[in-house]
Structure 1
């Protein structure tokens, strides 16, 4: 839908208000972007993860978690808890152990998330099983 069509349907303020209400209803938070824009899009973050997790079952489980947690948005921020990034680390600064560029680099976030899943659950597939049972990991 083009911007001109949106403007004909409703004022930009109403569109943004509707988007904020829809996001809040879905449990998402609209927030300002971090000081630096995230590197790459969701598809490039997925490609990075696929290279880092060559096993198909482990990648699929990791992907399901990240899809639910952040929609593959490296700058996703939970307005309630402050969880941040692809894997919604809480606090997000925990990911600094994987690299100083944790706020903007999907590869750093993926490395941290994979290490977390392996150390806490044994694997991404085990983390996904836990997520399915509990709605979080």
Structure 2
């Protein structure tokens, strides 16, 4: 075989190897990223779900302010120091299983649990927000 034929064969192999390495690297980068796409709702979807579940504007606004402060409407939010989880930062997060087994990935389940918690402890989301304003937590 001549050198020119070997170069023609080697060049496509190098290109294919480079593409394979790039694809593998991209795959590793994607698998290392947070799994937000696998979760049940984006922040705007979670807000829309909450609006449907909380028809009273004052109660929704209070709930929304708490959730914005606690998780930024990220259903996967996890507090690295306490382990609190989800939209309403339940501690421990698995408490929300009382509202549904899909508590890790379902915004509606997290909202339901959060509303029940706020009603039982503070009377309403407005009561929870008043407490949050005074204490920086609820």
Q: Work out whether 1:120 is the aligned partner of 2:121.
A: yes
Matches within 5 A, 1:40-55: 40-55=41-56
- How many residue pairs were aligned? 107
Helix, strand or coil at the partner of 1:89: coil
How big is each residue's C-alpha offset from its partner over 1:23-48, in whole Å with a ceiling of 9 and x where there is no partner?
xxxxxxxxx74698211210000000
Give RMSD over aligned pairs. Answer: 1.8
Task: Report the equivalent of 1:132.
Answer: 133
Helix, strand or coil at the partner of 1:59: helix
Matches within 5 A, 1:18-33: 33=34
Bigger-Rg structure (1/2): 2
Separation in 1, partners of 2:39, 2:65: 21
Separation in 2, partners of 1:37, 1:100: 16
Q: Is the 8 A contact 1:33 1:75 kept in 2?
A: no
How big is each residue's C-alpha offset from its partner over 1:57-107, in whole Å with a ceiling of 9 and x where there is no partner?
000000000000000000000000000000000000000000000000000
Task: Report the equivalent of 2:85.
Answer: 84
Q: Structure 1: any 5+ residue segments left out of the alignment?
A: 1-31
Separation in 2, partners of 1:72, 1:43: 8
Separation in 2, partners of 1:35, 1:136: 26
Q: Structure 2: any 5+ residue segments left out of the alignment?
A: 1-32
Task: Report the equivalent of 1:57.
Answer: 58
Structure 1 segments, 4+ long, off by >4 Å, are: none
Higher helix fraction (1 or 2): 2
